Amino acid sequence: MNKYKTVIIEDEKRAQILLQTILEKHFPNIEILAIADDLPSGVKAIHKHKPDFIFLDIEMPNYNGLEILDFFDENQIDFSIIFTTA
């Protein structure tokens, strides 16, 4: 079974834990490489881990999740985004 690498970007701790629990319990082919609590930390995790997809909160302090594309050049976006909200 192929493992899909993912990064979670979510500012609320309870939502982080809930999403992590759901993924680990129901989707054994998903490997969580990092959990970030803000967009800049999440961008660093994406550059470091090169995930297949990310789970991204929309409403966060300082940055809106929709602003993630501002942090990447077009040719750097080789991941899919799944938007989440608590």
Residue 67's domain is classified under what CATH number? 3.40.50.2300
Question: How many distinct structural domains can be found in the chain?
Answer: 1
The pLDDT value recorded for residue 86 is: 67
Which residue stretches of the chain have pLDDT < 70?
86
Q: Which of 34, 38, 29, 45 is nearest to 67 (CA)?
A: 38
List the domain range (segments joined by +) for residue 34. Answer: 4-84
Query: What Cα–Cα distance (Å) separates residue 33 from each residue in 23, 24, 61, 70, 73?
Result: 12, 12, 23, 22, 22
For the entire predicted model, the pTM comes to 0.92
The pLDDT value recorded for residue 1 is: 73
